[in-house]
Structure 1
Amino acid sequence: MVIEHCMSRKAWDLPFLAEPGEVAALRRIVRTHLTLWGLPHLVEVAQTCVSELVANVITHVGTGTPTTLVVAMKGTHVRIEVHDPDGKALPTLVSATSASESGRGLALVTAMADRWGVIPTEKGKTTWCEIATELVRNDTHVDSPQVHRAEALLTLYGPSVPLSSSPTRLGLASWEEAAITLIADLLHWFRAHGQDPDTALDRAQTHFEADLHAAG
């Protein structure tokens, strides 16, 4: 069994004033949302792109400019948009040396994102970039052998209706509860065999973190 259509990644937007003090908060919000989307491995790249696109507004449009951050899925890419009211100050990629004090932001975006661009709008412009994921569809999870093994076990614990046919919030909650029951049963197994459940959890966490590190 493969649990499909299991992630609801709805687009979200956040109006803010383009000020240096806002960047840290925007980075935290991006981290929270991408983690909830099951894409924590993209957090660093996405945060860098957001920082540079907002810095571009601050530098070339002005501090305090009313701006909006939008994060959405476009196919299997994460799309980041920064909307500002100045349709004339269009960002361009320049050749910036290591000693340059400006012009390096979009070079970073170019290096880290798969593509970027600028769209003039009636209210100003939208500067965007897109970051590739490992998804095969925008509503499923990142594929891995560990996830497949877990899903095979969850067929013994999950609700009677397959998650792939009922990707609702209630359906997800039922499968999450099944996963927690599975973990609890495994801890009972360790205790029944004279092993410390807390030690088992610590070892499992170590394996989990090692897998994440190996995946980059």
Structure 2
Amino acid sequence: MTRKPWDLAFTAEPAEVAGLRRIMRLHLGIWGLHGVVDEAQLCVSELVSNVITHVGPGTPATLAVSMNGVHLRIAIHDPDPRALPTLLAANTDSESGRGMALVAAVADRWGVELGPDRKVTWCELATGLASSDGHVECPGVRRAETLLEMRAATNPPGLPGASRLARATAEESVIMVITDLLHWLHAHGCDAEDALDCAQTRYDAELGGAGEGLCHRSSA
């Protein structure tokens, strides 16, 4: 999977935060990084709130998201190099600085880059990826790849092997495997539609599991 860097210009206003959180969830879903969505949304909220508080509402800013190796990098650009983020101890009574404490708590690392007329406040989250263009290792993905490899072994002309499949070809292979499984259910007197509904329900539950992404749950 190619995860190309992207950025989005916005105005630092409280009303913009919810939209930025939704965009982050959407893009991370496309990237297959469901397991870090909550942490990424928190970091976006706090980094943007930091600009609103210390630089001022209405500040033109940019959200930039990229991969740094196997880490997800989230950066907020703003035009004031003088207003630096403040990190306070968690037990402080002050309201200021708590946002960066939250970022520091969930991120592997964070920092600030200063320029003559701008600054970039960034953080990086561990993703569980084996490589920047790979997928999150998990039992479900490994089982699916095993099925694809087995099908490739029995259909060598059209399916050269899961590791070499282009994304479109791999998607078609997955559909073929699902189709074969539906034939198996029908042949054994099972309700294929009911099985699909149950699979979708289980998938949705695992994808939205409290504190755990789909690829962090053990197999049944």
TM-score after normalising by structure 2: 0.86
Q: Is 1:173 paired with 2:172? A: no
Return the alpha-carbon distance in structure 2 between the equivalents of residues 31 and 188 of structure 1: 35
The answer on 1:195 being equivalent to 2:196 is no
Which deviates the most, 72-81 or 142-151? 142-151
Q: Does 1:185 align with 2:180?
A: yes
Kindly tell me: are residues 25 and 211 of structure 1, through their superposed partners in 2, closer, same or farther at Cα, counting changes over 3 Å?
closer
Measured in 1, the distance between the counterparts of 2:180 and 2:116 equals: 58
Asked if 2 retains the 8 angstrom alpha-carbon contact of 1:96 and 1:103, the reply is: no
* 1:160 is the counterpart of 2:159: yes
Given the alignment of the two structures, is residue 24 of structure 1 paired with residue 23 of structure 2, yes or no? no
How many residues in Structure 1 have an aligned counterpart in Structure 2? 206
Q: Distance in 2 between matches of 1:140 and 1:148?
A: 13
Q: Does 1:11 align with 2:5?
A: yes
SS at match of 1:47: helix
Cα shift readout 1:149-199 (whole Å, capped 9, x = no counterpart): 211211315843445446xxxx20111111012112211221122111122
What is the alpha-carbon distance in structure 1 between the residues aligned to residue 25 and residue 138 of structure 2? 22
Who is 1:46 aligned against? 40
SS in 1 for 2:22: helix
Q: What is the match of residue 125 of structure 2?
A: 131
Higher relative contact order structure (alpha carbons within 8 Å, sequence separation ≥ 6)? 1
CA distance in 2, matches of 1:177, 1:118: 44
Which residue in the other structure is 2:141 paired with? 147
> RMSD in angstroms over aligned alpha carbons?
2.0
- Gap regions ≥5 residues in structure 2: none
